[in-house]
Amino acid sequence: MPDQGMHSLKFELPAWIDDVVDWDRPYPTVEDRVELAIRLSRENVERDGAGPFGAAVVETATGRLVSVDVNLVLPEGISVLHAEIVALRFAHRRTGTRVLGGGEGPSHDLATSCDPCAMCLGATLWSGVRRVLAAADREDAMAVGFDEGPVFPESFEYLEERGIEVVRGIRRAEARAVLEMYLERGGTIYNA
């Protein structure tokens, strides 16, 4: 008889998210959006000792927060539960659309505490977001031991060619400090 867990998959944001996130406030600037992603990554390390990555999906024009998440790989034991993937999932669910910014809906930004890895770049392309805002870069993640997969300058060019603006290095030092804190605390490098 199959395990009941084989027929469903459920995961939730950490209980502390609502202590950190002000869902009603707008995040009007690029810096505000990335700062939120970095704060989430820091809290994930400090509170749960979990992966040092955070992400938020925000309506581009209004700054309305749609979704957030942190890396859930360690707490859930599922390799694909990166912050960007789960934030996009919650954004799709909350907006009721499979394309964020498709059709007549508003355009969305994906703010991340670090350049997206290869998997998250692919998900970004298909999600429909129109802009990626990233803090730390892939070299920062690799410096602490994470394998970011096959991501090249051409990867970002590919997104740009398809109408997705990519802005990198926003508050990079602050985000890099979270990665280093994770390493100093003995955080697990789960994809090496």
**Beta-carbon contacts of residue 45 (< 8 Å; ≥ 6 apart):** 51, 52, 178, 181, 182, 185, 187
Domain 19-184: which CATH class? Answer: alpha beta
- pLDDT reported for residue 3: 59
Share above pLDDT 90 across residues of the chain, in percent, rounded to a whole number? 86
Asked if 135 and 34 touch (Cβ cutoff 8 Å), the reply is: yes
For 90-143, how does the pLDDT look when each residue is reduced to its tens digit (9 = 90+)? 999 999 998 998 667 899 999 999 999 999 999 999 999 999 999 999 999 999
Domain boundaries, the chain: 19-184
Mean pLDDT of residues grouped by 10 in the chain (192 residues)? 66 91 97 98 92 97 97 92 96 93 85 97 95 97 94 94 96 98 94 74
How much is the pLDDT for 146? 95
- Secondary structure class of 66 (helix, strand, coil): strand
The whole-number pLDDT of residue 42 equals 98
